[in-house]
Amino acid sequence: MTRSFGGMFGRSMFTPILEHMIKALDCMEALRELIGRFVEKDYDALKNLSQRIAKLEHDADIIKEEFRDGFSKSLLMAVNRSDMLTLIKAQDGISDECEDIAKLASIRETAFTEELKAIFVELTSKVYESVKSLKDLEEFIETSSGGDPEKIEEMIKIVQVKEWESDQLQLKFMKTLFSQEKQIDTVSLFILRDLCNMVGKIANHAENVGDCLRRIVAR
């Protein structure tokens, strides 16, 4: 039988999860701006954005560690501890991946065709939508004390759709990249391949967080 979050750990227990998610979304917003600078080869702005993402990721890590350290016996009685740790770990993958992407994008000037620029910006925006949808889901859980499992399931499905749409754009980018490989130097080609895969992983992390929330609600 589906249980509400309100009956499991109340608003105050879920607050750090939402705070961590907000930091992850902040990382994703900065990454979206960074990718815009990256495709336009504005490396001064890119460097500043990379530093901002590193700071946001560090802030997210602090929240994560405080959450792990702050488990109380009352929480453990209500919620499976491993489920909660899996949730925060999956969520942490978002900010971690953003930082890794920023570092890779900062390594060197990378060649782009106009078509690749457009697809990569679209992919990053779609992945941002998946993370934003996840934040909206967690905000709903926090403000409603999770009292509407059907609404939660509906919002989880939105995250899944955004992940699927991201997958399609990722595939489109890769096909375009290798169809234009003669126009791009080899190092740039491999950097773009890796960046595309890493951006796609963020949407996967968002979907994994949604799956964790579904399992917790269903217990």
CATH number of the structural domain spanning residue 174: 1.20.58.220
Q: Answer whether residue 3 is part of any domain.
A: no
pLDDT at 6: 45
For the cut 60, the answer to whether the pLDDT of residue 9 exceeds it is: no
Please name which of 209, 155, 198 lies closest in space to residue 34, comparing C-alpha atoms.
Answer: 198
Q: Answer whether residue 1 is part of any domain.
A: no
Q: Answer whether residue 177 is part of any domain.
A: yes
- H, E, C per residue of 73-109: HHHHHHCCHHHHHHHHHHHHHHHHHHHHHHHHHCCCC
Q: Answer whether residue 2 is part of any domain.
A: no
CA distance 202 to 51: 19
The per-residue pLDDT of the chain, averaged, comes to 88
CA distance 76 to 3: 16
Q: What are the tens digits of pLDDT across the range 67-110?
A: 888 765 545 445 667 888 889 999 999 999 999 999 999 999 99
Provide the CA 215 distance to its chain's centre, in angstroms.
Answer: 19
DSSP string, 163-177: HHHHHHHHHHHHHHH
CA distance 14 to 19: 9
For residue 8, name the pLDDT band (cuts at 50, 70, 90).
very low
pLDDT at 77: 47
Q: Answer whether residue 26 is part of any domain.
A: yes
Q: Answer whether residue 55 is part of any domain.
A: yes
Q: What are the tens digits of pLDDT across the range 130-161?
A: 999 999 999 988 887 656 788 989 999 999 99
Average pLDDT of the segment spanning 175-198:
96
Q: What are the tens digits of pLDDT across the range 32-78?
A: 999 999 999 999 999 999 999 999 999 999 999 988 887 655 454 45
Domain of residue 206, residue span: 10-218
Specify whether the CB–CB gap between 188 and 127 falls below 8 A: no
- Three-state DSSP class for 105? helix
- Count up the domains in the chain and report the number: 1
Q: Answer whether residue 5 is part of any domain.
A: no
Q: Answer whether residue 160 is part of any domain.
A: yes
